């Protein structure tokens, strides 16, 4: 029987990073992963195969199309008759995925991580180790890291299939649907809704909650909603889905809006109402691995489960379902196993939504900061007063800095605007080091860059922005 110091179950961002870090630290490591794409093993989990990477590839392609077909004229570039070759666009997305999933296989080889394709199932404890069925073969592992991720949540009684799709289906429509319905105005809803709208779909988004992105800073969610509505995304808030009927050529959805029943037909329906922890086939119940009431694997602050030698990380333990959070947990758990001080600072995990304009934030919203008892000051600076944004032709949005009025410490940064997915990184690093708004405001930022908006927003917390 093969024997390992560390066996990772799941090869997504949590699992593959944990395996690489464990191998770097000298552990004999294997990773068993079941994911298949086009009938073949494909490492990288949800993120690389049917999540972060393919969605961003399509967001980029569709944004280029929108730019060329509808916005190039503003720059004095005349392009007539730009059309979309959807097959080619989807093919490009697949080749990006191939490159990256193949890259994980290469990294496993380079770091001497044994890669096993198939299901991993906890079987029994054996002295100070665990026996795991890895793709039909029993292996022995001193430490097991469960990183089995999450799956899309279906509407009760409405299984995915046909024209009712989850994230995987929504990344692979063979034709642009004329009428696209989206249930859930969350991250997937607005990202993939944006992709298909840019390519020509009429997109209707049905959301149960009364408002948009309620977890983000109010100023940002308000501005983002305004911009997305302007593009033609048709949002309906506070609705209640009462019936979904699959037909041969489409889906009929009945919902209540302001107390009135409404029935609408769509060619395709994306259901993006959140994700649930994935533990099917893991053998959790059989070995007594504790899950919480929502099905997440229960862990302590060192990623230890209730069973000695079994750890869990990533989407399957809850918290923000984000690839970078999962990766950091992968590093932390491997370092803890090596006796080091592995740690994830959950207070500054950035969120980025790759719509146009992009949305990004980290740390506390103004409301949260006040609720936590801080005396708060804020500074906001618009991209419309920034030379680079005007040059780009995209001066929408702003950066808002939330700081403690007594200590000047930056508590949160909230952005909506061009390239804010990249701008948020600087502020995360500063918050990690406990920086003040003055530190940020006095840091030299290259001119002309979008990053000057971040600096100016920091200066604005003391009412001394220079260019407004
Ligand atoms: P997963 O990536 O789900 O990986 C788990 C792996 O374990 C899978 O390969 C699965 O097949 C395998 N597995 C499960 N059970 C077993 C078993 N018993 N045996 C063997 N293998 C098993 N996050 C971001 O940060 N940025 C983004 O831009 C972003 N975009 C997204 C877009 C979409 C459409 C979706 C759906 C998600 C997106 N996410 C994004 C979220 C991100 O994909 C997840 O947070 C991340 O993949 C979680 O990593 P994980 O390793 O915990 O789980
Ligand atoms: P989500 O949690 O972001 O949004 C789900 C939305 O559906 C919520 O607004 C919720 O109120 C609504 N909803 C729930 N039940 C409903 C119902 N019955 N009827 C109508 N609306 C309903 O979940 P989503 O979009 O499915 O994405 C899952 C997760 O994947 C995200 O939370 C995020 O963690 C991750 N993700 C991250 C991305 C990024 O970082 N850019 C991109 C895409 C996904």
- How many CB atoms are closer than 10 A to CB 261? 11
State how far Cα 309 lies from the chain centre: 29
Please report the domains of the chain, with CATH numbers, ordered by start residue.
Answer: 3-152+276-344 (3.50.50.60), 164-272 (3.50.50.60), 348-460 (3.30.390.30)
- The answer, yes or no, to whether any atom of ligand 1 lies below 6 A from the CB of 150, is yes
Q: Residue 313 in 3-state DSSP?
A: coil
- The answer, yes or no, to whether any atom of ligand 1 lies below 6 A from the CB of 142, is no
Report the pLDDT value the prediction gives residue 114, as an integer from 0 to 100. Answer: 98
- Rounded to two decimals, the pTM is 0.98
Atom of ligand 1 nearest to the CA of 171: 34
Specify the residue with its C-alpha closest to ligand 1, atom 27: 52
Cis peptide before 448 (omega within 30 of 0): yes
Residue 75 annotated in active site? no
For residue 161, how far is its CA from the centre of ligand 1 (angstroms)? 20
For residue 202, how far is its CA from the centre of ligand 1 (angstroms)? 29
Strands 260-266, 351-353: parallel, antiparallel or unpaired by DSSP? Answer: unpaired
Report the pLDDT value the prediction gives residue 326, as an integer from 0 to 100. Answer: 98
**What is the pLDDT tens value at each position of the chain, 468 positions in all?**
999 999 999 999 999 999 999 999 999 999 999 999 999 999 999 999 999 999 999 999 999 999 999 999 999 999 999 999 999 999 999 999 999 999 999 999 999 999 999 999 999 999 999 999 999 999 999 999 999 999 999 999 999 999 999 999 999 999 999 999 999 999 999 999 999 999 999 999 999 999 999 999 999 999 999 999 999 999 999 999 999 999 989 999 999 999 999 999 999 999 999 999 999 999 999 999 999 999 999 999 999 999 999 999 999 999 999 999 999 999 999 999 999 999 999 999 999 999 999 999 999 999 999 999 999 999 999 999 999 999 999 999 999 999 999 999 999 999 999 999 999 999 999 999 999 999 999 999 999 999 999 999 999 999 999 999
List, as own/partner pairs, every contact residues 36-41 make where C-beta atoms lie below 8 angstroms and the sequence separation is at least 24, other chains included.
37/97, 37/101, 41/117
DSSP bridge partners of 311? 145, 304
Residue pair 137/318 in contact (Cβ under 8 Å)? The answer is no
What is the spatial distance between Cα 44 and Cα 53, in angstroms, rounded to a whole number? 10
What is the spatial distance between Cα 55 and Cα 57, in angstroms, rounded to a whole number? 5
Atom of ligand 1 nearest to the CA of 118: 20
- H/E segment holding residue 206: strand 202-206
Report the pLDDT value the prediction gives residue 200, as an integer from 0 to 100. Answer: 97
For residue 242, how far is its CA from the centre of ligand 2 (angstroms)? 19
Encoded tokens for 108: 């496993």
Catalytic residue among 75, 302, 343, 447: 447
Atom of ligand 2 nearest to the CA of 241: 19
The burial class, CB within 10 Å (0-12 / 13-18 / 19+), for 63 is middle
User: What does the pLDDT look like over 74-115, one tens digit per residue?
Assistant: 999 999 999 999 999 999 999 999 999 999 999 999 999 999
Q: At what angle do helices 323-337 and 13-24 cross, to 10 degrees?
A: 30
What is the spatial distance between Cα 80 and Cα 64, in angstroms, rounded to a whole number? 15
Encoded tokens for 218: 């109010």
For residue 398, how far is its CA from the centre of ligand 1 (angstroms)? 31
| Mutational pocket test of ligand 1: of 54, 144, 149, 169, the residue with most ligand atoms within 8 Å of the beta carbon | 149
Specify the residue with its C-alpha closest to ligand 1, atom 12: 10
Strands 2-9, 129-134: parallel, antiparallel or unpaired by DSSP? Answer: unpaired
Encoded tokens for 224: 């983002």
Encoded tokens for 190: 């607005």
Report the pLDDT value the prediction gives residue 248, as an integer from 0 to 100. Answer: 87
Encoded tokens for 109: 């080889």
| Mutational pocket test of ligand 2: of 243, 273, 314, 325, the residue with most ligand atoms within 8 Å of the beta carbon | 273
For 214, phi then psi, to 5°, come to -65, -15
- The answer, yes or no, to whether any atom of ligand 1 lies below 6 A from the CB of 101, is no
| Mutational pocket test of ligand 1: of 21, 46, 334, the residue with most ligand atoms within 8 Å of the beta carbon | 46
What is the spatial distance between Cα 99 and Cα 372, in angstroms, rounded to a whole number? 45
For residue 375, how far is its CA from the centre of ligand 2 (angstroms)? 32
What is the spatial distance between Cα 38 and Cα 41, in angstroms, rounded to a whole number? 8
């Amino acid at each position: 029987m093969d024997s390992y110091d560390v066996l990772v179950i799941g090869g997504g961002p949590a699992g593959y990073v944990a395996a690489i870090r464990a191998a770097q630290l000298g552990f004999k490591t294997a990773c068993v992963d079941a994911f298949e794409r086009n009938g073949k093993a494909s490492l990288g989990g949800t993120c690389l195969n049917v999540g972060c990477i393919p969605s961003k590839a399509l967001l980029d392609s569709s944004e280029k199309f929108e730019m060329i077909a509808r916005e190039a004229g503003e720059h004095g570039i005349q392009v007539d008759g730009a059309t979309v070759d959807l097959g080619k666009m989807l093919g490009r997305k697949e080749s990006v995925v191939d490159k990256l999933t193949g890259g994980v296989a290469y990294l496993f080889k380079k770091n001497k991580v044994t890669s096993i394709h198939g299901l991993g199932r906890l079987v029994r404890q054996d002295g100070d180790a665990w026996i795991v069925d890895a793709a039909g073969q029993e292996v022995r592992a001193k430490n097991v890291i469960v990183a089995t991720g999450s799956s899309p949540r279906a509407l009760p009684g409405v299984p995915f299939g046909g024209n009712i799709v989850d994230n995987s289906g929504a990344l692979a429509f063979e034709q642009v649907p004329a009428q696209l319905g989206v249930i859930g105005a969350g991250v997937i809803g607005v990202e993939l809704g944006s992709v298909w709208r840019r390519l020509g779909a009429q997109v209707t988004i049905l959301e149960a909650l009364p408002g948009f992105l309620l977890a983000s800073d109010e100023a940002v969610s308000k501005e983002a909603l305004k911009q997305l509505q302007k593009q033609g995304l048709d949002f309906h808030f506070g609705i209640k889905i009462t019936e979904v009927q699959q037909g041969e050529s489409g889906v009929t959805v009945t919902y209540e809006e302001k107390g009135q029943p409404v029935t609408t037909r769509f060619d395709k329906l994306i259901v993006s109402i959140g994700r649930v922890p994935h533990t099917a086939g893991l053998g959790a119940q059989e070995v007594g691995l504790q899950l919480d009431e929502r099905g997440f694997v229960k862990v302590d602050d060192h990623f230890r489960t209730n069973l000695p030698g079994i750890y869990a990380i990533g989407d399957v333990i809850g918290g923000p379902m984000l690839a970078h959070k999962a990766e950091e947990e992968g590093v932390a758990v491997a370092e803890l196993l090596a006796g080091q001080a592995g740690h994830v600072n959950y207070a500054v995990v950035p969120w980025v939504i790759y719509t146009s304009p992009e949305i990004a934030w980290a740390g506390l919203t103004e409301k949260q900061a006040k609720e936590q008892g801080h005396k708060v000051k804020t500074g906001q600076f618009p991209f419309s007063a920034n030379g680079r944004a005007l040059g780009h032709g995209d001066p929408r949005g702003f950066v808002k800095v939330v700081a403690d009025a007594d200590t000047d410490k930056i508590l949160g940064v909230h952005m909506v605007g061009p390239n804010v997915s990249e701008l948020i990184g600087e502020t995360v690093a500063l918050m990690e080091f406990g920086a003040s708004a003055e530190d940020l405001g006095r840091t030299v930022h290259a001119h002309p860059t979008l990053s000057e908006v971040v600096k100016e927003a920091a200066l604005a917390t003391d009412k001394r922005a220079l260019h407004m």
